[in-house]
């Protein structure tokens, strides 16, 4: 920390001051807002980071302690990095627009920089903040950071937003990708931080949250470690063949870090390009291509949310907006708690509840089960995922759920996953199931994967019988879907 001065007057008057408003970019490396702040205020300038705890988000009824706890770990490291470089990351608690204006006035900031988001709430907040700061005579600049390509920088030949992934991918992959921004080596802070409207980094308890799960390592260093392990080893080369098997460590597990921005997307892309030099076979080349396609899926969902913000509150397909969901609360609770009687579904929900993360193949299985077997509104599942997932992200979560529910942007929307055949294909030895359902130890692999464990075995192990019959329910859903599709 800089030495404490008796007052703020002189340093503020003599040095241009830039505030870097962090939200979903909790890092110093590959951060366009931070890099531009340093470039614009120059050697004489002061660069301060700020993070604002928004009570409306903290009290939204969706945010859970595990996610807040992970975020606090990221913020703790980010503040340590600012201090190591000679400045500081300041914290505020309050309505974001009022708070950023209050701090800007208190330090007599000349500039405010931030990285953009695509969520409707964030776009509205940032527009209001920009207008309010500019009225104070403060220069405001924002930057593309959440994706490699800005959502409005890619369009069909007719100039329309994309509604289908495959043509989006073809356009997206052909576009030149930006290079990462180097991490700063030095920053200058204020001579004193007294008399500012800021708080210390609050504890989880002070924010009125609790967390009872073991979290992965938070922060920028952990994100870079995961990225390097995935790209420098064989993970990315084996990605195509390994990614669908939840018992294997076949994915990067970077999604919580991408959600909180502890790793820059340009750095991720750079690592993938470097990994191409390690390719020794067509299979390995396909692994990297598949990884790139997953990054493109992430940006496709950002793209459609940006252009169709109404997706946040309802189905894309008009015929699905009045679908007659059964919405059985008891069955929904059984799904949430992993008590459906379908082992692959229950294992996945236990993984979610106990770790705050779920393998992507399993996300599709449990989402299909909720919507197509239990015939429960996808928005119930979407909300539960946002509550539990450390990587809970509106664009990706909404896009995934609408894909699974046959309500989204999909040229072949009617997909129904059979949980038993999914288990046989992607967990052929039952390793994943037994990891999360240890009470099923002793069953044969055939019994585990059958989707119909013998009743006496269920009773012996206090495991529930299937709460629905998949074959009956899929036919019921198909008929309901057909009726909705035919209605005006």
pLDDT, averaged in runs of 10, over the chain (488 residues): 33 75 98 97 92 95 94 98 98 98 97 97 98 98 97 96 96 97 96 95 97 97 97 92 95 97 98 92 94 97 97 93 96 98 98 97 98 98 97 96 92 89 97 97 92 90 96 96 83
Catalytic residue (choose from 172, 291, 297, 357):
297
What pLDDT does 9 receive?
A: 36
What pLDDT does 488 receive?
A: 63
Query: Can you say how many angstroms the Cα of residue 254 is from the centroid of all Cα atoms in its chain?
Result: 9
What pLDDT does 60 receive?
A: 87
- Whether 377 is catalytic: no
Q: Which two tokens stand for residue 252?
A: 């990067």
Residue with tokens 């951060």: 31
Catalytic residue (choose from 325, 353, 431, 447):
325
Catalytic residue (choose from 378, 380, 403, 436):
378
Q: Which two tokens stand for residue 49?
A: 């980071």
Q: In what order do the strands lie in the sheet with 89-93?
A: 89-93, 46-53, 17-22, 111-115, 139-143
What pLDDT does 43 receive?
A: 79
Which residues, listed in sequence order, are joined to residue 90 by a DSSP beta bridge?
50
- Whether 325 is catalytic: yes
What pLDDT does 61 receive?
A: 84
Catalytic residue (choose from 294, 312, 431, 447):
294
Catalytic residue (choose from 353, 360, 431, 447):
360
CB burial of residue 69 (10 Å; 0-12, 13-18, 19+): buried
What pLDDT does 44 receive?
A: 86
What pLDDT does 14 receive?
A: 62
Category of 208 on φ-ψ map: left (φ > 0), alpha (ψ -120 to 50) or beta: left
- Whether 335 is catalytic: no
């Amino acid at each position: 920390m800089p030495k404490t001065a008796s007052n703020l007057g002189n340093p503020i008057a003599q040095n241009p001051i830039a505030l870097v408003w962090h939200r979903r970019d909790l890092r110093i490396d590959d951060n366009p807002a931070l890099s531009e702040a340093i470039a614009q205020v120059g050697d004489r300038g002061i660069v301060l980071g700020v993070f604002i705890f928004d009570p409306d988000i903290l009290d939204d009824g969706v945010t859970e302690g595990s996610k807040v706890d992970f975020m606090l770990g990221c913020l703790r490291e980010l503040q340590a990095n600012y201090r190591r470089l000679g400045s500081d990351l300041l914290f505020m608690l309050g309505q974001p627009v009022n708070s950023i204006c209050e701090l800007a006035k208190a330090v007599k900031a000349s500039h405010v920089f931030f990285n953009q988001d695509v969520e409707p709430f964030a776009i509205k907040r940032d527009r209001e903040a920009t207008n309010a700061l500019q009225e104070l005579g403060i220069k405001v600049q924002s930057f593309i950071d959440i994706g490699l390509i800005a959502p409005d920088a890619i369009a069909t030949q007719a100039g329309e937003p994309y509604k289908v992934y495959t043509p989006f991918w073809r356009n997206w992959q052909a576009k030149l990708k930006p290079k990462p921004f180097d991490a700063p080596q030095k920053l200058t802070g204020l001579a004193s931080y007294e008399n500012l409207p800021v708080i210390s980094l609050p504890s989880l308890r002070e924010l009125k949250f609790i967390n009872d799960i073991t979290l992965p390592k938070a922060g920028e260093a952990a994100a870079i470690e995961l990225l390097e392990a995935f790209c420098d080893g064989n993970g990315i080369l084996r990605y195509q063949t390994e990614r669908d098997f939840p018992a294997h460590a076949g994915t990067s597990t970077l999604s919580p870090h991408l959600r909180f921005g502890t790793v820059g997307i340009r750095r991720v892309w750079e690592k993938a390009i470097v990994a191409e030099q390690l390719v020794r076979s067509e299979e390995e080349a396909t692994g990297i291509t598949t990884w790139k396609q997953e990054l493109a899926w992430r940006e496709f969902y950002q793209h459609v949310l940006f252009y169709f913000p109404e997706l946040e509150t309802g189905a894309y397909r008009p015929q699905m907006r009045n679908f007659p969901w059964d919405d059985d609360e008891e069955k929904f609770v059984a799904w949430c708690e992993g008590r459906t009687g379908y082992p692959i579904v229950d294992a996945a929900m236990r993984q979610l509840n106990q770790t705050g993360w779920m393998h992507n193949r399993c996300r599709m299985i449990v989402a299909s089960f909720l919507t197509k077997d239990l015939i429960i509104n996808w928005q119930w599942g979407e909300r539960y995922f946002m509550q539990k997932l450390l990587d809970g992200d509106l664009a990706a979560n909404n896009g995934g759920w609408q894909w699974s529910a046959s309500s989204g942007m999909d040229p072949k929307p009617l997909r129904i996953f059979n949980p038993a055949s999914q288990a046989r294909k992607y967990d052929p030895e039952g390793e994943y199931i037994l990891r999360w359902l240890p009470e099923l130890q002793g069953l044969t692999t055939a019994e585990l994967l059958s989707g119909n464990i013998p009743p006496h075995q269920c009773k012996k192990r206090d495991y529930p019988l299937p709460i629905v019959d998949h074959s009956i329910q899929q036919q019921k859903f198909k008929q309901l879907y057909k009726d909705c599709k035919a209605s005006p």
